[in-house]
Amino acid sequence: MAVTNINRIRRNRARLPATLSRRDLPKRSLDDLGRQSRAFRTLSAVVLRPMPKKPCIVSSAHGPIKHLLLCYPSYGAGERAYRDVYLDLLKKLPKTTRYTILTHPSVTRDLQAVLSAAGASKRATIVESPEYVQFLVWAEDPFVVVKDGAGKKGKTYFIEPFSFARAADATVSDLIAEATALQNLQSPLYFQGGNVLIGDDFVLIGADYPTNTLALIQDYGHIAVPPGQNDAAFVNRLYRGTFDPLRAVKYVGTKLPIPQEQTREFKLGGKTWTEVLYAGTGTAQPIFHIDMFISPAGRGKSGKYRVLVGSPVMADSILKRRPMAHAMSEVFDDIVRQLQRMAFEVIRNPLPLTYVDDPASRTRFWYFATSNNCLVQIDKRTGNHVWLPSYGHGDWADLAATDRANQRIWEGLEFTVHMLADFHPFAQNLGSVHCIKKYLER
C-alpha cells in the first residue's frame, strides 16, 4: 500500500495561543529530581501534614461524573480552537455534573458566557487566580484526588507529588484549596495524574515515575526505607498507602528501548524541511502518560477488567497507508502482552500517528491523535457512557475514519458514545480531553 497524504501540508485553521506549553515539558533528569529531593527533605519536617487515614482515590471510570475541575486560563478566551472545545464539552457532559473552574480575572466574563451558553452556570464555581500565575489547561496532571473514607462526610484532598515543575501548575491545588472546602497535601512520591489510571480495584501507574521514585531512594536517600525491607516493594506499598490501600497498584511499562525525541530533515516541494519525531516518549512508556494510550472500560462477561490500548497499526490499516517505524507499534504491542499477563482483557483500538505543519519555519511535528484520552462513566443507574475527542476535521478529514472506528468499538462494548469537538489543538501539545479535567467526585 502506498503512504497517503504524507506529502500534503496540514495546517490548523485557527491560530493557536503562543503561550500554550506542551504537556510533557519540562523534562527533568534524575539529577534535577535529586536536587529537588534534597530541598523536599529539608522542608518536609516543617510543612508535610499527615495523609488521610482511609484514602480512597477517585476513579478514572466508575460512578457518575459528579464534580469536575477545569482550568480556563487567559489564553483560551477568544481563541476559537479552545473556547469552542470547552463549550462543546460542557454541553455534552451530564446535566447534573458540577464544576470548579480556575481562571484568570481577565477572562472571567468570557468563561461566564461559555457556562451560560452551555446551561451550566448554576452548577459552576469559578475561582480566580492572580493574572500573573501562568497555570495551563492540563488540570489532570499536578495531583491525584483522594477522599478520606468512602462515605459522603469524608474530606477530599489533592495529593501532590513532591515536585511538579510545569509552568505554575503546582499552584493550582493551592488556589483551589484556598477558595473551597477541598484541601491539599504533598507526598514524597513522584507521579503525575495523567500517568495514573484508577479502575474498580486497582491503580495503574506508568512505570517511569515509580522507577524515578525508586532511583531517588537508592541514589539520593529521598525516603528512608525501613531496615530489612525491599526498596521496590516498599515503594509499591507507599503508593498504595497514599492512594488507596484497597486497590492493588500495578505498573505499566516495557523493557524495549524507547526512542527519544529527535529531528531529521526531509524534502517537501523541493525545499528542505525539519520534522520532529518521537515527541512525548517516556523511558519505559511509548507515550509519557498512560492516559494517552490506555482507556479503562470496566469488566466484561468473563469477569476480567477490560482496557482499550491504542494500536497505530490498526489506524494505518483503516487509513490505507503503510505502517511508519516511528509509530513504535512493537512497543504498544509489548505493553499489551504485559497487561494480558496481569489478567486484563485487552481490546485494541486505532491510534493514528499524524502531523501538523508550520510552513513559515518549514517544520513538521508528529503526534498521536488519541481517542484513548477520553472520559469514561461506568454506572448501573445511568448506564455506561464515553466522551471521545474527534480528529476528522479540516486538513485531517481522513481521520474521520478512525474516529468512526473508535466509536464503533465503544458501542460494541455497550457504551453510549458522545463525540466531542476537534481536539487537534490539544493533541498537538500532547494532551486531549482526559488531560484538561480532573475528577473531583464520582
pLDDT of residue 64: 98
CATH fold of 30-441: L-arginine/glycine Amidinotransferase; Chain A (3.75.10)
pLDDT of residue 4: 43
Annotate 158-193 with b (16+ C-beta within 10 A) or e (fewer): bbbbbbbebbbbbbbbebbbeeeebbbbbbbbbbbb
Q: What are phi and psi of 13, to 5 degrees?
A: -70, -40
pLDDT of residue 306: 98
pLDDT of residue 222: 78
Range list of H helices, 168-261:
172-179, 208-220, 231-243
- One pLDDT digit (tens) per residue for the chain, 442 residues: 333 457 889 988 776 665 566 887 777 666 665 565 555 454 444 345 567 889 999 999 999 999 999 999 987 666 677 889 999 999 999 999 999 999 999 999 999 999 999 999 999 999 999 999 999 999 999 999 999 986 667 899 999 998 888 889 999 999 999 999 999 999 889 899 999 999 999 999 999 999 988 888 887 777 788 898 999 999 999 999 999 999 999 999 999 999 999 999 999 999 999 999 999 999 999 999 999 999 999 999 999 999 999 999 999 999 999 999 999 999 999 999 999 999 999 999 999 999 999 999 999 999 999 999 999 999 999 999 999 999 999 999 999 999 999 999 999 999 999 999 999 999 999 999 999 999 999 9
Interaxial angle between packed helices 208-220 and 231-243, expressed in degrees from 0 to 180 and rounded to the nearest 10: 120
Hey, where are the domains in the chain? 30-441
Cell 457512557 found at: 385
pLDDT of residue 376: 98
User: Strand 363-368 and strand 353-358: pairing?
Assistant: antiparallel
pLDDT of residue 25: 74
| Calpha distance 373→417 (Å, rounded) | 14
Cell 476513579 found at: 59
